[in-house]
A and B are shown apart, each in its own frame.
Chain A
Amino acid sequence: MSQLMSAVQNVQSVAQSFDKAWNDVSGIWDDSVAQTFHSTYISPLSSEMGLYISRANANARDIEQYQSEVQELAQQLDRI
């Protein structure tokens, strides 16, 4: 796995822990307060991160594919 793909997956893992941490602690709020806070701050951030991770994963996969092709081409160079 490339360094880039690993970095993107790290973001994904951290963002998931963030969501989980929120779920763990949100119980201390009154439901309506928690909902307001969630919809104001957590939800937009969570969707933005979800969108980012989905795009970044696809992008990192493309870069990984291009790199793998470059390495294959470099091996062809060695064989000439």
Chain B
Amino acid sequence: MADIAHIESISSLENLRYQVSSGVDQVYTSLQLVFNSIDHERTACDMYLTKGQSLVEKWSVRAESARRQAEAIQCELDNLPADDDQNDYSSQRAALTSKYEDAVSEAEEYESKRDAVAEITGQIAENIRQIGMACDTLLNYTLRAESEINNQGRNAVSAIDRVIVVARQYIARRLT
């Protein structure tokens, strides 16, 4: 760096300084965009997880309600008196049995939806976990790149500054 004998022009050096300095600034700025994007990616999929969890809750509540209804109908069926010579409960029994079967079928349908939604939500959660890990890795790479740009890049600019000072002194000495 000390050999400046062949440096002809301060303005060329200043141009070099500008190119290096602005290049370093641009790389630094573009790395900040990566940081912002990492934050964005971390939260982008969370809404799908929330949606999945609320759907699991929705179908669970419906399935439990249908199961309770089926149990209540079963109680009514159990409490129905046996037929005797004066009373025939067969039509009531048939109606309750049909209602019971509908309630059980409804509960099974809701349970099936709940399980399917839970399975998909689990896969979404796993993907979000992977995204989080990949974001952590990328964050570390980006922090390191930022540090290198700050250290090496700014050092390069400082080195050119020092050369410019020496070059100015050299030219001043030649002029006197």
Contact = CB atoms under 8 A, between A and B. Distances in A.
Contacts of B117: 77, 80
Interface residue tally on A, bucketed by range: 35 or more
B138 A21 contact: no
A11 B16 contact: no
Interface in B90-148: 113, 116-117, 120-121, 123-124, 127-128, 130-131, 134-135, 137-138, 141-142, 144-145, 148
Chain A contact residues, majority secondary structure: helix
Which one of B5, B34, B130, B148 has the greatest number of beta carbons of chain A within 10 Å? B34
Given A4-B40, A33-B4, A45-B152, A63 B138 contact: yes
Contacts, number: 167
Given A4-B41, A25-B19, A45-B152, A52 B144 contact: yes
16 contacts: A4-B34, A11-B27, A11-B34, A14-B27, A18-B26, A25-B12, A29-B16, A30-B3, A32-B3, A41-B153, A52-B148, A63-B135, A67-B45, A67-B127, A73-B127, A74-B51
Given A29-B16, A74-B52, 9 more contacts: A11-B33, A11-B145, A18-B24, A22-B23, A25-B12, A30-B7, A48-B145, A52-B145, A73-B123
Interface of B: 1, 3-9, 12-13, 15-16, 19-20, 22-24, 26-27, 29-31, 33-34, 36-38, 40-41, 44-45, 48, 51-52, 55, 113, 116-117, 120-121, 123-124, 127-128, 130-131, 134-135, 137-138, 141-142, 144-145, 148-149, 152-153, 155-156, 159
